[in-house]
Amino acid sequence: MIPKPKHIGGEYASIFKDQSVVEAYQFRPIHPPEVFDILMTLVRQTDTP
């Protein structure tokens, strides 16, 4: 398994608990369906999702 990058951890994840970040979710662009196809391909390549 590829090691997790240093910037992806608990401290970074906690930012998404901030109410101002939550309120901004509605302004994020939607992802095209192809993104989910790519993600599913990657998930299928691993032993555990």
pLDDT-wise least confident of 4-13, 14-23, 32-41: 4-13
Buried b (16+ CB within 10 A) or exposed e, 27-47: eeeeeeeeeeeeeeeeeeeee
Rounded CA separation 35/39 (Å): 6
pLDDT digits (tens, 9 = 90+) for 26-48: 999 999 999 999 999 988 887 76
Q: Place 15 in a pLDDT band, splitting at 50, 70 and 90.
A: confident
Full-model pTM:
0.42
Q: What mean pLDDT value characterizes the chain?
A: 87
